[in-house]
Structure 1
Amino acid sequence: MADERARHFRRLRRLRRSARRWSVLAGGLGGAAAVLTPYAGLGLPDAAWAGAAGSAIALAAWRWVDLRALAAVPPPPALGPAEAAARSRARLVAAVERLPVGPGVLAEVRRVRSRLALRGTTAAQAWARLDRAALTLAGMSGRLTGLAEPAVREAADADRSLRDLAARLASVERAGRLAPDGPLDEVHAALAAQLENGVAAYERLVVAAAGYLAEDARPSTEHHAAARLTEATDLLHGVADALAELRTSHLPLRTP
């Protein structure tokens, strides 16, 4: 969203420039009409000059009226530094998302930023494992169709839940460092166990998905591409043998 204050002042500048242009045009046309109008009366060209001058004067007056009305309206309050920075970031993100590779770049930036936010905590290693597993599953998701589609949806939900759990674990760990007597140790241990079990289950799901793809791509006897190549090879061998037989059968007999 554009800054409303900046938009207000841009409208003021545009109205001021428009009022000045129409004032100059009205003065020029009015002066020309006064000079060119003959004393003996008005002809058709003189009426055109006078009409153009009157229209320019009216438009200039309307622009000055609009300018005074807009100038009387108090401008919107200026944005704070935080809000201005947030709007600038939102505009930058929207511009990047319109690029062909924008969504992938933004996803990678968010992933790296999230990993850096967990640096120095026990959740960082589990987060890195989850990242590797999620990237592996993302590379297979386009081929996981049919019976595997519910598993892909469950994996997406589990990914979001595990990342939220990792963030909470990091927050509890940082808060626990401020308490010397360790009242959060039990909560931290429980969250860490949940995260470890969840990431391990996610990795097992990715391995199972890879096994599903391997079995789905494995034919009962021979891959169809290899079978077609074998048939084409046999066909070419047969054609070559037939051509050789035709050439030898048409050779002229030599007389001694």
Structure 2
Amino acid sequence: MADERARYFRRLGRLRRSARRWSVTAGGLGGAAAILTPYAGLGLPDAAWAGAAGGSVVLALWRWLDLRALAARPAPPELTPAEAAARSRARILATVERLPAGPGLLAEARRQRARFALRGSTAAGPWVRLDRAALTLAGMASRLSGPAEPVVQEAAEADHSLRDLAYRVASVERALRLAPADGRTELAGAHRELVAQLENGVAAYEALVVAAAGYLAEESRPGGAHPAATRLTEATDLLHGVAAALAEFRAVGDPTRTSATAYGPR
């Protein structure tokens, strides 16, 4: 999103320059009409001068009125450095997303940033496994149809929940390093429970991905030869038959080969 304050002052400057320009134009055309009209009397050229002068005066007046109305409005508040940086980052991300490979690059950058944030935590290993399984499922998602179609939505919700759980594990682990000795036992028990939940959840997600792959394998296995291979074999036989027919036709139309066949040794 563009900076509203900068856009406000840019528009104010454009209106001020336009009002001054039309004021100068109206003054010049009005003075020329006032000086030239008495010398030649009223005619078609004088009407043109007067019309141009009048139009310039009206446009200059409109520009000054617009400038006055805009200047009466309070300017948008100035952004803090954090807000300006956030808006600049949002503009850059929007530009990258419009590129053909932009969404994939942004997704990979987010994954790498999250992996770096969890580096050194017990949640880092399950996170990497979850990333690998999620990428595998994403490659199969477009072909999971019919009874397997709701699985994609369920997997997306599970992925979001497990990633949130991984962040909680990392947060509790950081707090565990700062906890005093008397309160560390209870927090360590909660941390172990969260890690166990994360490990079980990632294992269940991996099992889901394996089951989805098995479903695709069974769905695309018709039994026997693949239909594409059958069609290719039929097309190959057809071309062989056409080639043999053309060879026989050429042999019949060749008089040398015909005479050799007719009067050859018996």
Task: Tell me which amino acid in the other structure corresponds to 1:164.
Answer: D
Name the residue aligned to 1:81: 81
TM-score, length of structure 2 as denominator length: 0.87
Name the residue aligned to 2:93: 93
Name the residue aligned to 1:229: 232
Name the residue aligned to 1:118: 118
Name the residue aligned to 1:174: 174
Distance 2:228 2:244 in 1: 24
Q: CA deviation at 1:28?
A: 1.5
Which structure carries more helix by proportion? 2
Name the residue aligned to 1:127: 127
Q: Deviations over 1:63-101 (max 9, x none)?
A: 234323433433221011111111111222222222222
Counterpart secondary structure, 2:94: helix
Name the residue aligned to 2:10: 10
Task: Tell me which amino acid in the other structure corresponds to 1:160.
Answer: H
Are residues 1:35 and 2:35 paired?
yes
Task: Tell me which amino acid in the other structure corresponds to 2:263.
Answer: L
Q: Deviations over 1:91-140 (max 9, x none)?
A: 22222222222222221111111111111101011000000011111111
Name the residue aligned to 1:24: 24
Distance 2:46 2:129 in 1: 86
Distance 2:26 2:245 in 1: 96
Q: Deviations over 1:130-174 (max 9, x none)?
A: 000111111111111111112222111111111111111111111
Distance 1:99 1:243 in 2: 53
Q: CA deviation at 1:233?
A: 3.8
Q: Deviations over 1:182-212 (max 9, x none)?
A: 2410111000000000001111111111111
Q: Deviations over 1:20-65 (max 9, x none)?
A: 1101211220221122112574233213312321331232233234
Identity of aligned residues (%): 74
Distance 2:39 2:72 in 1: 44
Task: Tell me which amino acid in the other structure corresponds to 1:45.
Answer: P
Inter-CA distance 244–39: structure 2 relative to 1 (3 Å threshold): closer
Task: Tell me which amino acid in the other structure corresponds to 1:56.
Answer: S
More displaced stretch, 244-253 vs 45-54: 244-253
Name the residue aligned to 2:209: 206
Q: For 1:254, which of 245, 259, 264 is the aligned residue?
A: 264
Q: For 1:193, which of 180, 193, 196 is the aligned residue?
A: 196
Distance 2:40 2:214 in 1: 102
Inter-CA distance 15–242: structure 2 relative to 1 (3 Å threshold): closer
Inter-CA distance 34–179: structure 2 relative to 1 (3 Å threshold): same
Distance 1:242 1:61 in 2: 90
More displaced stretch, 4-13 vs 227-236: 227-236
Name the residue aligned to 2:106: 106
Distance 1:64 1:139 in 2: 60
Give RMSD over aligned pairs.
2.4
